[in-house]
Every structure is written in structure tokens, then in C-alpha cells.
Amino acid sequence: MKVTIIGYGKMGKSLERLLKNTEHEIVAISDGKHSNELVSKLAKADVAIDFTTPETAYGNIMTCVMKKVPIVSGTTGWLDKYDEVVKAVIKEDASFFYASNFSIGVNIFYQLNKYLAQLMNNFPNYDVMLEEIHHTIKKDFPSGTALTIAEDILSKIDRKNGWESNTIGEMDKLSVYSKRIGKVFGAHEVQYHNSIDVIKLSHEAFGREGFAIGAISAAEWLIGKKGVYGMNEMLSISGN
């Protein structure tokens, strides 16, 4: 496949390095900051992969949708406009794949998190909290992965009806703590605790390679499809 990489930060460079060791071809690399420049770099692409910023991701995705170039995005922090993208994809009969985290391990973690939350819904004497740690360069918080984990907990735990960031507030809110430390690639931990014991579910990434491999796999999988997809569909994981 012929790929346009959108965004040339650490993830963009990881994609470039991995793609050069495959049969795939990088036809263009865009910084994702200028729509006119991006349009010209999509001309020969079978698919585009976007890892940019919360400020530019929506525009990059919409440009690909309008040009009917299948687009895979792992950029977080822009999801207030997600529904607009979905409507555009349907209207234009385009192709869009979004994941807050492309790691296979994280997506297994998502399923375990939902199962544990469903189980713990029957034990109201346990409170629940979530902590996420990333490198100091990461701009948005909570992370997209943490938001996915939080929403999945809230969908199963009846005693929680929303989340709060970096604070201990009302008992009916899920506390989500975000830390930015050194060069941590990504660590997420869910805790259920009371005065007797604590149950912990955690995942930590040791590098960006797993994210890049997952994004390339998503790009391969998306070609030839129409619609909006995510990791559940690609991995054939139940959304329950």
C-alpha cells in the first residue's frame, strides 16, 4: 500500500522507520499543519495515517474524508468533533479508523477493564479510581486511553455518573489522575479499594513500536472498506 504520514513527531518517525522495513511505500510525509500542503500529498496515497495534535487532527481527518483517502488517526484531544467526522464519512462514503490507543495489549486491557467493572458493580463497598502517566511532552490530559477506560467503567458502575480530573470530589464521580513524568510512554492503572484491600488492573507500554505496528495494521485492514471503524472491529472483539 502507498501511505501518506500526517505528522512528523515521534510517532510519525516511528511509522516511517517501520514502514521502510515492509513492502509498503511512503509516498509523502506532511506536518499536518497546512491543509493545502496536505491535499497535494494525498494525491498518490492509498491510505493516510495521522498522529498530529488536538488542534490540527480534525482538519486533517476531514481533508482526507473529502478527498476519499482512507484515514487512520491516533491523535487524541479532539473528540468533541468526532460526531461531525462520522456524519461526513457517511455522507461522503469514505473510510475512517480511529483508536485512542493502537496497542494490542491496551485493547485487551480495555476488555478486562469492562469485565472487572461489571463484576465490581455488585460490590459498592469498593471505590474506584484511575491513574495515567505519560511523558512530559504529551499535551492533553487525561489521555485518550484514560478517557476510554473511564467511559467503560462508567458504563458498568451504576454508582458513578461522571469523572473528575486530578481531584477527589463527590463519591458519585470517578477520579482520574494524570501525571506527566520523564519519558514514560504510557501507563494506566485502575484501582478498586476499600479499608480491607485493593484490586489493581494495569498496563504499561515500554515504547512506541506497539502503537505504530497497530496503526499500520489498521491501515492495511481499512483499505477497501467504507465507514467508521475502531480496534474492536479489526480485532473482532465484542463491544459488550
Dist. CA 24–CA 146, nearest whole Å: 32
Backbone dihedral region for residue 182 (phi beyond 0: left; psi -120 to 50: alpha; all else: beta):
left
Q: Which stretch of DSSP H or E encloses residue 229?
A: strand 227-229
User: Which is catalytic among the residues 24, 33, 138, 173?
Assistant: 138
Residue 24 among the catalytic residues: no
Say how many C-beta atoms besides its own lie within 10 A of residue 199's C-beta.
Answer: 15
User: Which is catalytic among the residues 114, 134, 160, 188?
Assistant: 134
Dist. CA 113–CA 80, nearest whole Å: 24
Beta carbons of 188 and 145 less than 8 angstroms apart: yes
Residue 134 among the catalytic residues: yes
Dist. CA 191–CA 69, nearest whole Å: 41
At 69 the three-state DSSP class reads coil
**Angstrom distances, CA of residue 16 to CA of 6, 25, 153:** 11, 10, 35
At 59 the three-state DSSP class reads helix
Q: Which of 77, 104, 87, 45 is nearest to 231 (CA)?
A: 104
Sign of CA pseudo-dihedral 215, 219, 225, 227? positive
Catalytic residues: 134, 138
